[in-house]
Structure 1
Amino acid sequence: MIESNQLLFFFSALGVFNGFILSIYFAINAKKKNFTNYFLSLLLLVLSIRIVKSVFFFFNPHLSNIFIQIGLSACVLIGPFLFLYLKSYKKDEKINWKKHVISYLAAITILGIFYPYVEHRAIWSNWIVCAIYLQWFIYIVLSFKYLRPIFTKIKEKESLKRIDVWFLSIYFGVAFIWLAYSMAAYTSYIVGALSFTFILYLIVLLLIFKTNSESTFFNEKEKYKNKEIDKETLDLIDQKLSVIIEKELFLNPNFSLDEAAKELKVTKHILSQYVNEVLGRSFSSLIKEYRIEKAKKLLETETNYTIENLGYDSGFNSKSAFFTAFKKTTGLTPAEYQKSYLK
C-alpha cells in the first residue's frame, strides 16, 4: 500500500514539476519568438500551482490553509489564459488582457483578504470554489469559437496544420482537467493531478515527434523567416497564378498545393510562402475563394440547376462544405444570394 502511494505521488508530482519547467521554457521562448507564448507560459503556471496544491493536500490533509487558498485562487486565471492564448492568434482581434486577468486577480485577492480560507472554509467550499469552476467552464465555452475553423477543416476533410493539432491538444487538455476536478466528488481528488500529468506528456510527445522542421507549434507565422522571395520570382508567380483561374483548375475538388506548384512550375514551398506572405491567406483559403466566385457566377446565370449541384460544379466536394464556405464569405446562403441577385 505504501509503495502504491509512493507511485501515485511520483506520477502526480511529475506533471507539476514538468509543468513549471515548461512554463519557464515558454516564457523564455516568448521573448525570442512570439508574445503569445507568455499566455501559454502563464496558463501552465497557474495549472501547475493548482495541481501542486492538489497533490500535497491529497497526501497531507493538514496542509497549511494559506497554501490551499493560493492553489484554489490560481484556478480563477486558468480559463482567462486559455482564452487569451487562443485569441492571440487571431489577427483581426485586439487582446484586452487586463480585463480578463487583472479584474479576476483583484476580485480573488479581495475575497481572500476579507474571507480567508483558514476562517471561512465553508464559504470557500460551498460558494467560492463553485463560482471559480463555473467561471473556468464559461471561459472554456468562450474559447471554443477560436477552434471553429479547425473543426471546419475536419468536417471538410482538409489536412490540419501542426498548430491546429497543438491548439486542439491545449484546449481539450484544459477542458479534461476541469472535468476531472468537477467530477472529483464521484472519483478521487487526485484524478485531476494525474490527468494533468497524462495530458502534459501527450502534448510533449507532439513536440518530440514533430517531423516538419520548417514549422513550429508555437509560431506558425515565423515559418518563412529569413527566406524572402526575390522580386523576379514574385512577379513570375503573380503572372502565372491567373492560370489556375483561366483553366479553372480549382474545379477539381482534390486540387492541391502540389498540383498547383507543378502547374505553375515553382516549388511547393515557394508557392506556399507566396500565398501566405503576399496574399495573406492559406492556399486552401485562396482556392475556396476561387470556388466561391465561380459559385456566384453560376447562381447569377443558372436557374435550372439545384443549388447543391451548383456547389459541386464550383469545386466543392460536399453540400455542407459549400454552404458553410459561401455563408462565411458572403454573409448569405447560396439561395439568399441568388434571390437577392435576381430581384
Structure 2
Amino acid sequence: MADTNMPVTLDFYAVFTLLGIAQALFLSLFFLGSDNRGKPFNIFQGWMLVCMALSLLEIFLLYTGYIANVLFLVDFSEAISLLIAPLFYLSVKSLLKGRIKKVEIAVHFALPVLYFLSSLPYLFSSEAIKFNAWVTAYDLDYPMQAINEPWWWDSPFFRLTFWHTDILVAGFSVYFVMAAWLLVSAFRHRNERLLAPKTQALKTARASAIQFFVLLLIIIVVKLMNPRDTGDQIIAACISLSIYFTSFIVVKNSGFFKQVPLTDDGKYKNSNLSADDKVRIADLLSRLMEEGKLFTSGDISLAKLAAEIRSTPHVVSQVINEKFDKSFFEWIGEYRIAESKVLLKQHPNYKIEEIADRVGYSSKSSFNTAFKKITGMTPSQYRQSE
C-alpha cells in the first residue's frame, strides 16, 4: 500500500490543467445537449472534449501526486486518449460530408477498443504494480514496491500498453493527414482559398485541423525531449489551451451577442422557419453565390433568388438578415466587390467600366462607391496598390 501522505505538486501547470478539465466538461454539455446533438459534428466534438477531459484528469492526478490516493486510476485513460484522434477526424468529416455510417465509426474505434481489451489485466492489477508504473513513468525518487510478475506480464498482446506513446503519435499523425486531405479536397471542390474560406463549415474545419496539428507537433517535441511521461504536464497545458480556444470560437459564433431587441422582433415574429431550415437555406444561398455567381446579374433580386431555391422573398430576406447579419444589398455587394478584386488583379487590361459590368453594377459610379465603402479605396487605387 502506497503512502497517501506524499507531497503534492500544485503549480501553474496543475491549476491550468484543472481549469482545462472543467472547461472541457462544461463545453461538452453544450455540444451533447438535447438542442445540439442532432448534428453529428456536435456529437463527435462533444465526446472528443470528454476524452480530453479524462486524459487531462489522469495527467493532473499523476503530476500532482494525488494519484497516491487513487492508485487504481493509474493509466485509466490510455485507451480513452486513443479516441481523440478518430473523434477529431470524424468531426471534420461530418462537417464536410454530413452523416457518417455506423460501420465506419466502428472501424475507427476498433484500435482503442483493442487497446482497452489488452490493458484490462493491467487495469485490474494490484496497487503495487500501479504504484511502480507511476514512479517509473514520472521518474520519481520513491522506492519501488516488491511485486510478483502476473501471468500476463510476458504476453505481447497484454503488453500493448508499453507502446502507448508510439500508438498515440502514429494515430494522431494518420488521422491528421486524412482530415487534411478531406479539407483540401473540400476547398478545391468549392473553389475557395485555404487562407480565406468563406463557408462557415470550412472555417470551422480548418480551425480544428490547425489546432490538432499544433497539438501533434507539441506532443512529438515534448516526448522527444522528455523521458517517459515527465513532460506530460506541458502537453496537458497545451491541450487545455486548445480547449480554451475552442470556447472562444464557440462564444464568438454564438448568437447571444446578436440579440434582437423586443421592439425589432416584429419583422419575423410570425416566421415558422426552424434553425435547421435557416442553416440549410443559408448554405443554398452561399452556393448560388460562390458556385453560380448569381451576383453578377445586374437585375438580381430577392424574388429571383427565392425562385432559384423554391422559396419566398420574405424567407430569403430573413435568412440573409439573421444568418449573414446583412441586408440583401450589403450581402450581394460583398460578393461583387470580392469578385471585382480578383478581376482587377488578374486582368490589368480590363477597364474599370468593364469590370463593374462583369460583377453586376450598372454604372462606374455606383461600382466606385460600393468598392470604396468596403475596401476604403477606389478600384483604380486598389489596382495600383497591387
TM-score surpassing 0.5?
Answer: yes
7, 25, 28: which is aligned to 2:12?
7
**Aligned counterpart, 2:113:** 106
Map 1:73-112 onto structure 2 (within 5 A): 73-91=79-97, 94-95=100-101, 96-101=104-109, 103-112=110-119
219, 222, 226: which is aligned to 2:276?
222
Q: Which ranges in structure 1 are unaligned for 5 or more consecutive residues? A: 229-236, 275-282, 288-307, 317-343
**Structure 2 CA distance for aligned equivalents of residues 31 and 265 of structure 1:** 29
**Aligned counterpart, 1:54:** 59
Indicate how the Cα distance of structure 1 residues 160 and 184 shifts in structure 2: closer, same or farther if over 3 A, else same: same
Indicate how the Cα distance of structure 1 residues 113 and 259 shifts in structure 2: closer, same or farther if over 3 A, else same: farther
**Aligned counterpart, 2:237:** 194
**Aligned counterpart, 1:333:** none
Are residues 1:131 and 2:167 paired?
yes
Q: Could you give the per-residue CA deviations for residues 26-75 of structure 1, whole angstroms, max 9, x where no partner exists?
A: 11146664243211111111111112212221222865564232222212
TM-score normalized with structure 1 length: 0.58
Are residues 1:173 and 2:211 paired?
yes
**Aligned counterpart, 2:249:** 206
Deviation at 1:126, TM superposition (A): 4.7
**Structure 2 CA distance for aligned equivalents of residues 273 and 47 of structure 1:** 36
Answer yes or no: is the 8 Å Cα contact 1:177–1:196 preserved in 2. Answer: yes
Answer yes or no: is the 8 Å Cα contact 2:28–2:47 preserved in 1. Answer: yes
Deviation at 1:15, TM superposition (A): 0.7
Tell me the percent identity.
11
**Structure 2 CA distance for aligned equivalents of residues 205 and 85 of structure 1:** 18
Answer yes or no: is the 8 Å Cα contact 1:19–1:44 preserved in 2. Answer: yes
**Aligned counterpart, 2:180:** 144
**Structure 2 CA distance for aligned equivalents of residues 48 and 221 of structure 1:** 30
Deviation at 1:134, TM superposition (A): 0.9
**Aligned counterpart, 2:269:** none
- Aligned pairs, how many? 258
Greater Cα radius of gyration, structure 1 or 2: 2
**Structure 2 CA distance for aligned equivalents of residues 257 and 15 of structure 1:** 50
Deviation at 1:144, TM superposition (A): 1.5
Answer yes or no: is the 8 Å Cα contact 1:69–1:112 preserved in 2. Answer: no
Answer yes or no: is the 8 Å Cα contact 1:26–1:40 preserved in 2. Answer: yes
Indicate how the Cα distance of structure 1 residues 256 and 193 shifts in structure 2: closer, same or farther if over 3 A, else same: farther
Secondary structure (helix, strand or coil) at the match of 1:176 reads: helix
**Structure 1 CA distance for aligned equivalents of residues 242 and 315 of structure 2:** 33
TM-score normalized with structure 2 length: 0.52
Q: Which amino acid aligns with 2:82?
A: V
